[in-house]
Amino acid sequence: MSPFPASTSFVNILVFVKPSSTPGSYDVTTAPAVPVITEIDTVINYQIFDTAGYDIVFTGVTIEPAVNNQLSPASVSVSGKLLTFSDANTEKMMLNITLQFKDNGKEGIAFSHDPQISNHPPV
């Protein structure tokens, strides 16, 4: 074991997504619902964890405010099940993000979900 502490903090957010009882809609839940970032230069991973057997993948993310000097451009994994970006976490603020998805099993139907990220830089 190394005597040095880990230099990068990781926050993993599980994403549960499936078609809802309303035709053309999807139920999306993230856990935690609003991640609180407390370390600088934190890597944030959104992982599609449960889709009830549907072929649902990430296609990207949008961020508000668009110019925020906090979040890096996002990367979607080859499988489409992971969406990753880093958070500088140098300013206390709420960031509104919109996760973008598509359901490959339903002719690529696109939809989105809009959680938040709470930045709380260390003192």
DSSP 47-91: EEEE-TT--EEEEEEEEESSS-SSBPPPEE-TTSSEEEEEE---S
Quick: pLDDT tens for 70-122.
999 999 999 999 999 999 999 999 999 999 999 998 887 999 999 999 999 99
* pLDDT at res. 6: 62
Q: How far apart are CA 120 and CA 25, in angstroms?
A: 33
Domain total of the chain: 1
**1 part of a folded domain:** no
Q: How far apart are CA 45 and CA 31, in angstroms?
A: 12
Confidence of residue 3 (pLDDT cuts 50, 70, 90): confident
* pLDDT at res. 48: 98
Q: Give yes or no for a contact between 59 and 100, defined as CB atoms under 8 angstroms apart.
A: yes
Which domain range does residue 25 map to? Answer: 9-119
Q: How far apart are CA 7 and CA 41, in angstroms?
A: 9
Average pLDDT over residues 57-73: 92
**CATH number of the domain that 77 lies in?**
2.60.40.420
**29 part of a folded domain:** yes
* pLDDT at res. 11: 97
Bond from prior residue into 35 cis (ω within 30 degrees of 0): no
Average pLDDT taken over every residue of the chain: 93
Quick: pLDDT tens for 15-41.
999 999 998 899 999 999 999 999 999
